[in-house]
A and B are shown apart, each in its own frame.
Chain A
Amino acid sequence: MRSLGILDRRGLIFIVLVLAAGVLIPLANLLAPAGSPFHVSDYLVPLLGKYLCYALLAVAVDLVWGYCGVLSLGHGAFFALGGYAMGMYLMRQIGPRGVYGNPVLPDFMVFLNYKELPWFWLGFDHFAFAALMVLVVPGLLAFAFGWFAFRSRVTGVYLSIITQAMTFALMLAFFRNDMGFGGNNGLTDFKDILGFSITAGTTRGALFFASAVALAAGYLLCRALVTSKYGKVLVAVRDAESRTRFLGYKVANYKLLAWTVSAMLAGVAGALYVPQVGIINPGEFAPANSIEMVIWVAVGGRGTLVGAALGALVVNAGKTWFTGALPEAWLFALGALFVVVTLFMPRGIIGLWGDLTSRLRKPAGPVPAPKPAE
């Protein structure tokens, strides 16, 4: 199937579904009466909103892993940094309503005897500044990290291991009280966002809608990148990095661009996640979280973008169900998922679906498996 423009049929369906959900689910929550079969509960809206953030995060991971062959085990760090930037804004919005009633300092700073706001908290009382930092902080970290790593041609598992070390180091740092980010309690007890109460149904609906729009926009951005000639070069880098170099492409720059964009998307996902779950703490930096993100992508189908988003939804819905119904079994299920997907479903749900439909149309004709990237 050759496509015109950046959207193929699958992408179009995806965008329509996401945007429709973005409008309909908040409406079903606010307008449909509680007994109605169309009603979506207050509990479900932020939960689904959280899934949308994860889906955006998965799309970001897929951009670098699926198209560029860079397996990041540290995307949780970019997600968390975006979340912290938003959390800092929300903390400043609390103002004098905190337990200690200090108009400037958040509660944890009063508790830790801070006399004044640390310099890196300045400006976060403005939403626009915080929103900018949601992009700039993860973007800058990714750029600096990638600049060194890609130029020195650190690839494959070595790169994966140092991305893991990066998020691990950040986790240790954010657990420290004197970092000024609330230590292991993180940032919480948010009151309102842009003047609207964070617990109000309409705010929740708006945040859900914003997440849906962000997911659609993030998908379109990635899709635009991967369907351009830039994207073709990216895939070439994934499959034969040194050959691409001998064609005259500066591989490091290509990777760096995708890597930085991906980190910024992860930051946006984190920023939308925080007001919906109401807390951000250093646990988000845990290396295990970052590895879990990779499996979302693998489950849905690596290198398809839509599959990544789908995988995030499926795995997290499964997680919610398991931790409610069979908490003991969740890690078994997740662990088995890692094994089964890598062994038997290298192209994920999307690939499985593709195999099924093409087999129905024409019985013969094997589909070549994607070449594993180093």
Chain B
Amino acid sequence: MLVKKIGLALTTTTFLVTSAAAATLNVAIDSSPAGLDPHLITAFNSVVIVQGNVYEGLTDIDAGLNVVPDLAASWDISADNLSYTFKLQSGVTFHDGSTMDAEDVAASIRRVQAEKTASPMAASVMPITNIEIIDPLTIKLSLDEPFAPILSSLATIAIVPAELEADIEALQQKPVGTGPFKFVEWLPNNYIALEKFEGYREAGLPMLDGVKFNFVPEASTRQVGLTSGDYGILPGIDPATALQLQAQPGVKLHDTLNVSYTLLGMNVTRGPLGDAKVREAVNMLLNRDEIIAGALFGAGVPGGPLSPALSAWALDTSEFACYTTNVDGAKALLAEAGIETPIKLSILVLPRQDARDISQVIQQQLAAGGIEVDLVNKEIGEFVQDWRNSNFDMFVSANGGNPDPDQYFYRTFRSGGPTNVYKYANAEIDTLLDTGRTETDQAKRKQAYDAAQRTLACQGPIAHLAYGNLFTATNAKVKGFEIYPTGRLTSLVNVSLDE
């Protein structure tokens, strides 16, 4: 044991000493992650560091938001859509040297499902009711009823060594996966270092010797650090920083339409907000172009309930009449609903710069129609608590999106859905969402979701504001980087540094 420890210490120092000379990519992100267990931590910072770099799933989501094979080489879906048989890649090893096989896949899924793990991802794999190992490289997952988004959900489930199934502590500190980079060390408040995994299944990859995620809280500091060459890449930067970096020499800006979005949520149990006409009037008072120009520095597009990045599903905003700002129309709707203005409401604001700016713009826009709002700024812990307990009239926040409509709609808009904090209940929508979930015929699913979008866009409990651009800036020396709308740094495996 002692010998092993010394060995580890030696490799760590060697890494640190050689890192200056070797090709190590310095990434700057705003804060330390709350842990690195891929089944426990869903925060952006953890995901950016480990998903795709340290961990891989059976499937993956590509830059076009399509499901593609990852650890699973291929799969067959039974005719009744109730069982999925995955053929695994051969010759895949974990960072600890053991070989990845079907047993590990089964254990990983069970780990996420187990109550003891308390995984926030559990809901996406709960429909899997039976796991059958056919041979070491073949595994069959069975469902009780069809669950269309299963392949896309599996992309978020990291495959970890089977012996860690019951261990709920180890991965938090020291992740072990099959990805191109291996965890080296984590200095809290300072950085997380990864190094090249020599046993990666694709020969010649990764090209980098290591990746170092530096925690740099100040946006302006990250910005200067990129231009000075201290950092090679800034993932997921805000639009103001992106605009400033655009003009800088030696900086390359990558952008893509984001699946995440900003929203104005409305609690339908609060006074006039229970009336669909009032919610429509709110939509008509909003000027989304102004919000995007003012609060997002022009970086983003107005969107309906689904991101325009989901081009297979999303309806164009021109189909939603309430998206055209119309103060008189809004006033007429309010009058029709029998509402006397001014109405006094409050908006709970996510403590983030874009949400603060958006809420201020909205405050001015709603005032024009006689809806007077107070902005309630709370610290993040209290915001989350109030959100979870539906303790708000309205809120302005930002949500990460999902590649499949079901992953967002079902939990959010179905009566009693786990994240339906709006207390929205609409039998017609419920039917449409059930169809979308169990129907596997693409055209019929599309039909159901089209109808749902039309109702939800103007009269739903959420006024979707804008889908921002996702920006990532790289130093000109960084070659081969490709941006993914999910925000993951999957392409680091192909990145190299020019000297």
Chains A and B belong together in one complex? no
Binding site for A on B (CB under 8 A): none
Q: Which residues of A contact B (CB under 8 A)?
A: none
